[in-house]
Structure 1
């Protein structure tokens, strides 16, 4: 049973080596087989060279010629991964690594297809001291996304998520959002595919250098939400089930 951990990164030369070494030490202690997949999203600061220069870790790396977005980077890593269980988290390892062990326990005991980190569950902690504005923005975004898609999202932007291999392949092969709002499309797709979603508390230990810039990225993410909703509604309207419903309704009119 292999664990795959995808790390999307952009201009992370200052901390990527330390993060990967820390992650590697943890995985050596916790898992029999694992792989780390680093997806360099068109970095310009030597991130790629730093990753390629690391030795002694089971690291595979993917490099984009230009910046394509976090969603595109995570998708590439998920579809390249070989693990039975596939996770992604951020390059600064913002969540205590015990989240991986907790998620694996849930996969094995509860039959989950997805295990999603949530900063708002009992047992979660914010040791990083996230400022109030970012906390509020995160909650507002998740609430809006939930209303737009009619699903219980709660903490869509938590940067810790895990998937069974078959769920990862089904979801990311369908995901079309390349930016930060890709998480919401994954939620929507998981609901449509009737996958079992579980949640686990996380401990936030580092949030000093979030790459999301408010309000510019927030507005872009809202626009991405509307595009996702329109695209999914069009697919729903022309799904076999909806076509059958329309034929039945027209028969009785």
Structure 2
């Protein structure tokens, strides 16, 4: 599928100085965000400007037909790039596309609705630097998290995480929160092996990274302000369960990820990254 770059054009006043290479890449998948994406990205930029690290923001429009793309292009910043492809494929595909276009050694994912407070990103980076871990993921169940969302969603989320812990050897309490940060090497090795394009992409990424030996993934507190205008519904919940079962089947019965890694290694695709760690089942 062709991905079109829709560059944001800077009109900021001041001397013409080439920006420093980004050390932090923030990938923002966007679907049906419409007019609110402009204010949301401005809010994100305001928080990132407080960090003492060169950064870039990559917005990936997942087949939008509303005003999402035009609103994103209104963001006049030299650190923002907007990408678009015509068909809605899913959040996982959008994130993978964004990572492909990124340059930072640290790569952050955050949802475009900004239900998750972007001010938390700084704390995630501090954990990465202090511990040298492979990644940091936001957790609604962290004792210091400030979470505001409906009781039914809390129950659904808790039950789903019980299922995840039963099926996979992951020492985490929340796989699906949309704020995460990883070292580039982790994503370089894991992303080519993934099969999920939509609903359980987050879980599959964590499962595959774990199998590749990247097991030092820390959980961090978040602030979540649940918005009731959400694209999550019962059908989405069912699709997450279906994808989860498929990941388990691919891992334990098909040995899909190990076979896929062997295929990529033998073909020379991403060989340098893929050859660095043994894949375990």
CA distance in 1, matches of 2:74, 2:249: 44
Of the candidates 73, 77, 98, which is equivalent to residue 77 of structure 1?
A: 98
1:217 CA displacement: 1.2
The answer to whether the Cα contact below 8 Å between 2:149 and 2:225 also exists between their aligned partners in 1 is no
The answer to whether the Cα contact below 8 Å between 1:3 and 1:31 also exists between their aligned partners in 2 is no
Of the candidates 198, 215, 219, which is equivalent to residue 199 of structure 1?
A: 219
Secondary structure of the structure 1 residue equivalent to 2:255: helix
The answer to whether the Cα contact below 8 Å between 1:185 and 1:228 also exists between their aligned partners in 2 is yes
1:140 CA displacement: 1.2
Q: Deviations over 1:42-84 (max 9, x none)?
A: 1111211221232124111221211101111111112221111
Number of aligned pairs?
Answer: 236
Of the candidates 68, 76, 91, which is equivalent to residue 47 of structure 1?
A: 68
Higher relative contact order (CA 8 A, sep 6+): 1
1:184 CA displacement: 0.9
Q: Give the structure 1 partner of residue 153 of structure 2.
A: 134
The answer to whether the Cα contact below 8 Å between 2:60 and 2:97 also exists between their aligned partners in 1 is yes
The answer to whether the Cα contact below 8 Å between 1:171 and 1:189 also exists between their aligned partners in 2 is yes
Of the candidates 189, 194, 205, which is equivalent to residue 170 of structure 1?
A: 189
The answer to whether the Cα contact below 8 Å between 2:115 and 2:225 also exists between their aligned partners in 1 is yes
Q: Give the structure 1 partner of residue 31 of structure 2.
A: 10
CA distance in 2, matches of 1:102, 1:48: 30
Q: Give the structure 2 partner of residue 114 of structure 1.
A: 135
The alignment status of 1:56 with 2:77, answered yes or no, reads yes
Cα gap change, 1:227/1:50 in structure 2, threshold over 3 Å: closer, same or farther?
same
CA distance in 1, matches of 2:257, 2:195: 18
Runs of 4 or more above 3 Å deviation:
236-239
Q: Give the structure 2 partner of residue 152 of structure 1.
A: 171
1:14 CA displacement: 2.2
CA distance in 2, matches of 1:161, 1:20: 17
Cα gap change, 1:107/1:237 in structure 2, threshold over 3 Å: closer, same or farther?
closer
1:193-232 superposed matches below 5 A: 193-195=212-214, 196-214=216-234, 216-232=235-251
Q: Deviations over 1:9-61 (max 9, x none)?
A: 11111210001111112212213311000010011112112212321241112
Secondary structure of the structure 2 residue equivalent to 1:173: helix
1:207 CA displacement: 3.1
TM-score by length of 1: 0.88
Q: CA RMSD in A?
A: 1.7
Unpaired stretches in structure 2, ≥5 consecutive residues: 1-21, 260-281
Deviates more, 1:224-233 or 1:68-77: 224-233
Cα gap change, 1:13/1:237 in structure 2, threshold over 3 Å: closer, same or farther?
closer
